[in-house]
Amino acid sequence: MDPKKAAEPDKLGAPEKPELIKHEEQKLIKETDARRVDDLEDQLKRLQAEFENYRKRTAKEKEALMLAGSAVTIVKLLPVLDDMDAAIASIHQNAGAKEMRHGLEMLHKKFMHALEKEGVMEMKSLGGEFDPYRHEAVRTVEGKEDNKVVEVMKKGYLFKDNVLRHAMVVVSRKNEEKGVETKEGRTQDTRHETQKEGPK
């Protein structure tokens, strides 16, 4: 064996410097820790978003349940208002029951004020356009205007801007017929009917 070669260190098998290995290990640990922190932050943000959505959803469901319960209770009170309206209307025809009428009107006003504080509003239907989403047509009558509410048979009410009870109304229909149908299928004007005779 050549003594010179034996004296030379094995460059291929020489270990790396301990400082370099330690630096690489620390660098790898930092990168791993940073990725873990990012993952945890993402998970935390998702959990926060899910919890916020859950909180809003449960709050809306709770509010909807409370409104539904209130609506059911208020609907049961509406017949009392109907009876009070009927009583006031009948007393108006009796001139000697002025004090009783005044008392009923005050009671009705207080009752409505209490309901209005809960979000109940009386529909203003008389004289307005017929709205199938708010009104229930009891019958139709001929009138000067078409599709107008000419009489309210039973008042309608709103609760939180939603229909609590449809108003029962009478609706006008404008009569636009100008003539009558003949047996031959032709329309004759009955308003200006004239008779012409030809030469015999």
On whether the CB atoms of residues 149 and 128 are closer than 8 A, the answer is yes
Residues 113 and 123 in one domain: no
Residues 140 and 46 in one domain: no
pLDDT digit string, tens, across residues 57-73: 888 888 778 888 888 89
- Which residue did the predictor score with more confidence, 74 or 34? 74
d(CA 69, CA 35) in angstroms, rounded, equals 51
User: Which among 90, 118, 146 is the end of a domain?
Assistant: 118
Would you list the DSSP string of 114-180? HHHHTTEEE---TTSB--TTTEEEEEEEE-SSSSBEEEEEE--EEETTEEEEPEEEEEEE-----EE
> What CATH code is carried by the domain that includes residue 162?
2.30.22.10
Residues 20 and 112 in one domain: yes
Residues 89 and 123 in one domain: no
Q: What percent of the chain has pLDDT over 70?
A: 72
Least confident stretch, 16-25, 65-74, 105-114, 167-176 = 16-25
Residue 4 belongs to a domain? no
Look at residue 59 in the predicted model and tell me its pLDDT: 84
Residues 40 and 110 in one domain: yes
Sheet of 135-142: strand order equals: 135-142, 167-173, 149-154
For 161, list phi and psi in degrees, rounded to 5: 70, 10
Residues 96 and 134 in one domain: no
Residues 109 and 28 in one domain: yes
Least confident stretch, 34-38, 81-85, 125-129, 136-140 = 34-38
Residue 36 belongs to a domain? yes
Residues 112 and 92 in one domain: yes
Residue 191 belongs to a domain? no
Split at pLDDT 50, 70, 90, the class of 35 is confident
| 179-181 and 187-189 beta bridge pairing | antiparallel
Split at pLDDT 50, 70, 90, the class of 181 is very low
d(CA 159, CA 57) in angstroms, rounded, equals 22
Look at residue 111 in the predicted model and tell me its pLDDT: 92
* Ranges 37-46, 98-107, 122-131, most confident: 122-131
Domain count, the chain: 2
Residue 62 belongs to a domain? yes
Residue 183 belongs to a domain? no
Residues 91 and 104 in one domain: yes
Q: Is the pLDDT of residue 177 over 90?
A: no
Residues 98 and 128 in one domain: no
Residue 7 belongs to a domain? no
Domain holding 49, by residue range, is 16-118
pLDDT digit string, tens, across residues 119-172: 999 999 999 999 999 999 999 999 888 899 999 999 999 998 899 999 999 999
Residues 52 and 69 in one domain: yes
Residue 144 belongs to a domain? yes
Residues 112 and 147 in one domain: no
Mean pLDDT taken over the chain: 78
Q: Is the dihedral of CA 160, 165, 169, 173 positive or negative?
A: positive
